[in-house]
Amino acid sequence: MREFDDSLPSVNRRSFLQGASAAGITAAAGCLGGGGGGDGRVPMDVEEWPPEDIGGSLNMWNWYDSWAEWAMEAFGEEFDVEVSNTGYSSPDQWYSQLEAGNSDIDNIAATTNWVERSIENDFLHELPVDIMPAWDNITDRIKEASSYQKDGSVYAVPESLVLYPLTYNDEYFDEAPSSWGVLWDEEHEGNICMWDNATVSCQIAAMYTGQDPIQPDDYEEIEEVLIQQKPLLQTYWGDYQQGMSLFVNEDVVAGPLTMGRTYTARFGEGAPVHYTAPEEGAMYTSDLFVIPKGSPNPIASLQFTNWATETENAAKLFETMGYQPAVDISDELSEEDAEFTNWPDDWNLIFSETLSDEVRSRYDEIWTAVKAA
């Protein structure tokens, strides 16, 4: 950087104004979240891999806390980037920032329906997945299921599969319950729980009553069975930690829980739990990496997205959080982990598509009525 030198010729007024205008426009573009990063590049400007000059910092929002903690250090050391992570408990925390004009967040691990909303509202950078080496690691199954495209452009890279199975105490049950009906069985009164989540609970009730959980045809039946179930329950859990604790403390023997929390309960807390997809089906969704517009370090974020999708780094996600990465990690798993995570091919899994406004609204009304009953 050149030091100030009194001997330099003075700058004339016109040159100064031109320079000041350019600086002002550049600064304004930065403040307005132009999304070009420090040198103005966006992810689609990267034509060859690896990208050059990825920058020195990365601000990510990833709610897989343990994995993010590890990734911050590993990625930071490998690429000489200073990485920070903001864990979040609810997607609206980052979504509201995108709505307000993002200028801080470089990389988000976001659930499918929020990615769809973000794509529809033009909040995300398009990604050059064709030149990203790790893109080929993503399994066809999740590529087909996830929503990350619009008009042929790709806006997200799948990070993980999130299964909403029936979790059960495998010491209490001789074999995995085959039906969601176990949550309506009076034999288990006081020992079962439901998730305090309108969509999840109504979808379980829809599957139990033989309806399509995405587009049900008999809302009254869903409400009726959920009210019938209420006296049998110990509680509705509203927080993931609380849900896991119910199983760890053996307060309940069956109920909905995520696969990741079931994994943590089993291997991290030593709880006798396992999970299954009942014959009526189980819902699943995906979390995806996205680079929001306004990102101050979009190229570093692109590099991180590719790095996180490399098999050994993706495998770490399963090891730390218990969620199935979007990458085939079967070669990286221990025998115990492989036994836990390999789902039978014949499981009836239903992708949790974004619900229509009408269905979401009806589910919400039903759930409020059930809880108020």
Partner 1 sequence: MAEASGEGGASDAGARAGDRTAALTSFFRDHPRLRTLAVAGPPYAVLLLFFAIPLLAMLVVSFQTGEIGGPWTLRNYMDFLGSSTYLTVVWKTLVISVQVTFIVAVIGYALAYSIVRFSRRTTLLLLLVILPFWTSYIIRMYAWINILQSDGVLDSTLNMLGLPAVSLLYSDPAVLIGFTYVWLPLAVLPFYASLTNLDGDLIEASKDLGAGPVRTFLSVTLPMTINGVVTGVILVFIPTFGSFITPRLLGGTNNIMIGMVIENQFKSAFNWPFGAAIGMVISVVVVALLVLGTRLGGGLFATGGEEA
Residue of the chain from 230, 310, 336, 342 that contacts partner 1 (CB under 8 A)? 230
Return the residue matching tokens 């039906």. Answer: 179
Contact flag: residue 242 with partner 1 (CB under 8 A): yes
Long-range contacts, stretch 86-95, CB < 8 angstroms, 24+ apart: 86/59, 86/60, 86/61, 87/61, 87/62, 87/63, 88/61, 88/63, 89/63, 94/61, 94/292
Contact flag: residue 220 with partner 1 (CB under 8 A): no
- The region of 14-22, 50-58, 162-170, 232-240 touching partner 1 under the rule CB under 8 A is 232-240
Residue whose C-alpha is closest to residue 209's, from 192, 189, 229? 229
- The region of 68-76, 143-151, 271-279, 357-365 touching partner 1 under the rule CB under 8 A is 357-365
Instruction: Tell me how far, at minimum, the Cβ of 164 lies from partner 1, in Å.
Output: 14
d(CA 356, CA 85): 32
- The region of 36-44, 174-182, 195-203, 263-271 touching partner 1 under the rule CB under 8 A is 195-203
Sites for partner 1 among residues 247-276 (CB under 8 A): 249, 251
By the 8 A CB rule, do 112 and 352 touch? yes
- The region of 180-188, 240-248, 278-286, 306-314 touching partner 1 under the rule CB under 8 A is 240-248
State which residue, 181 or 238, has the beta carbon closest to partner 1.
238
Contact flag: residue 360 with partner 1 (CB under 8 A): yes
| Contact characters 287-326, partner 1, x per CB under 8 A | ----------------------------------------
d(CA 363, CA 283): 16
Residue of the chain from 157, 198, 291, 317 that contacts partner 1 (CB under 8 A)? 198
Q: How many CB atoms lie within 10 A of CB 294?
A: 23
- The region of 48-56, 68-76, 228-236, 312-320 touching partner 1 under the rule CB under 8 A is 228-236
d(CA 352, CA 192): 24
User: Exposed (0-12), middle (13-18) or buried (19+): which is 74, by Cβ within 10 Å?
Assistant: middle
Q: Show the tokens assigned to 310.
A: 């490399």
Instruction: Tell me how far, at minimum, the Cβ of 30 lies from partner 1, in Å.
Output: 26
362 CB-near residues (< 8 Å, 6+ apart)? 219
Residue of the chain from 67, 180, 236, 340 that contacts partner 1 (CB under 8 A)? 236
Q: Show the tokens assigned to 180.
A: 């969601």
By the 8 A CB rule, do 352 and 147 touch? no
Contact flag: residue 372 with partner 1 (CB under 8 A): yes
Residue of the chain from 58, 233, 257, 350 that contacts partner 1 (CB under 8 A)? 233
By the 8 A CB rule, do 277 and 347 touch? yes
- The region of 3-11, 152-160, 245-253, 329-337 touching partner 1 under the rule CB under 8 A is 245-253
- Binding residues for partner 1, rule: CB under 8 A, are 90, 92, 196-199, 230-231, 233-236, 238-239, 241-242, 245, 249, 251, 357, 360-361, 364-365, 367-369, 371-372
